Amino acid sequence: MTTGFVGDVTIFVLALLVGFEVISKVPATLHTPLMSGANSIHGVVLVGVIVLSAEVHGPLGYVLTFLAAAFAGANVVGGYAVTDRMLQMFKKRPAPKPAEAKAEQ
Amino acid sequence: MNLAFLFAAVCFVLGLHFMNSPATARRGNQVSAGGMVVAVAAAFALVADGGTMTAARWLVLLCGALVGAGVGLWAARSVLMTAMPQLVSLFNAVGGGAACMIAIADYAHNIHQGSGTAVATVLDVLIGSITFAGSLVAAAKLQGYASQPVRFPGGRLLNAVVAVVAVGSAAAVVARVESLPVLLVTLVAALGVGLLMVLPIGGADMPVVISLLNAFTGTAVAMAGFVLNNAILTVAGALVGASGAILTKLMADAMNRSVPSIMAGGFGTGAVGV
Q: What is the tens place of the pLDDT at every residue in B176-230?
A: 777 888 999 999 999 999 998 888 888 788 889 999 999 999 999 999 999 988 8
* Residue B70 shares a structural domain with residue B98: no
| B154/B47 Cα distance (integer angstroms) | 50
Half-sphere exposure of B269 (CA within 13 A, CB side): 27
* Residue B238 shares a structural domain with residue B107: yes
* Residue B4 shares a structural domain with residue B116: no
How much is the ipTM here? 0.87
Residue A36 in any domain: the answer is yes
* Residue B66 shares a structural domain with residue B143: no
* Residue B69 shares a structural domain with residue B118: no
Q: Which residues of B touch A93 (CB under 8 A)?
A: none
Residue B157 has pLDDT above 90, yes or no: no
Q: What's residue A95's pLDDT?
A: 46
Check: CB of residue A41 under 8 Å from CB of residue B88. Answer: no
- Find how far residue B57's CA is from the centre of its chain: 25
| A11/B233 Cα distance (integer angstroms) | 11
Handedness of CA B181, B182, B183, B189 (dihedral sign): positive
Check: CB of residue B209 under 8 Å from CB of residue B141. Answer: no
Other Cβ atoms less than 10 A from the Cβ of B154: the count is 9
| Per-residue model confidence as pLDDT tens digits over A4-49 | 778 888 989 999 998 888 887 778 888 888 889 999 999 999 999 9
User: Which residue among A33, A75, A97 sits closest to B19, beta carbon to beta carbon?
Assistant: A33
Residue A19 in any domain: the answer is no
Residue of A nearest to B91 (CA): A75
How many separate domains does chain B show? 2
The residue among A1, A39, A44, A84 with the most chain B CBs within 10 A of its CB, best to mutate, is: A44
Q: What's residue B216's pLDDT?
A: 94
* Residue B29 shares a structural domain with residue B96: no
CA distance A18 to chain B (A): 7
* Residue B19 shares a structural domain with residue B96: no
Average confidence (pLDDT) over B70-91: 91
* Residue B194 shares a structural domain with residue B255: yes
Residue of B nearest to A76 (CA): B69
* Residue B171 shares a structural domain with residue B251: yes
Residue A12 in any domain: the answer is no
Extended strands (E) in chain B: none
Of B62, B78, B94, the one marking the end of a domain is B78
Cα dist. B179→A67, B98, B107, B169 in Å? Answer: 22, 21, 9, 10
Q: Which residues of A touch B32 (CB under 8 A)?
A: 37, 40-41, 80
The residue among B60, B125, B228 with the most chain A CBs within 10 A of its CB, best to mutate, is: B60
CB contact under 8 A, A39 and B242: no
| B5/B45 Cα distance (integer angstroms) | 12
Of B78, B99, B119, the one marking the end of a domain is B78
Q: What is the mean pLDDT of chain B?
A: 87
Residue A90 in any domain: the answer is yes
CB contact under 8 A, A28 and B254: yes
CB contact under 8 A, A84 and B26: yes
| B230/B228 Cα distance (integer angstroms) | 5
Q: What's residue A105's pLDDT?
A: 42
Residue A64 in any domain: the answer is yes
How many separate domains does chain A show? 1
* Residue B54 shares a structural domain with residue B93: no
Structural domain including A38 reads 26-104
From B189, B164, B95, select the one nearest A46 (Cα to Cα): B95
Asked if B41 reaches chain A (Cβ–Cβ under 8 Å), the answer is no
* Residue B139 shares a structural domain with residue B241: yes
Asked if A6 reaches chain B (Cβ–Cβ under 8 Å), the answer is no
Q: How many A/B residue pairs have CB atoms within 8 Å? A: 364
Of B61, B78, B95, the one marking the end of a domain is B78
Residue A82 in any domain: the answer is yes
Asked if A103 reaches chain B (Cβ–Cβ under 8 Å), the answer is no
Report B:88-147 residues touching A (Cβ under 8 A): 88, 91-92, 94-95, 97-99, 101-102, 104-106, 108-109, 116
Structural domain including B232 reads 83-272
Residue B167 has pLDDT above 70, yes or no: yes
User: Which residues, in sequence order, are CB contacts of B264 under 8 Å at separation 6+?
Assistant: none
CB contact under 8 A, B76 and A85: yes
* Residue B96 shares a structural domain with residue B177: yes
Check: CB of residue A57 under 8 Å from CB of residue B56. Answer: no
Q: Which residues of A touch B106 (CB under 8 A)?
A: 52
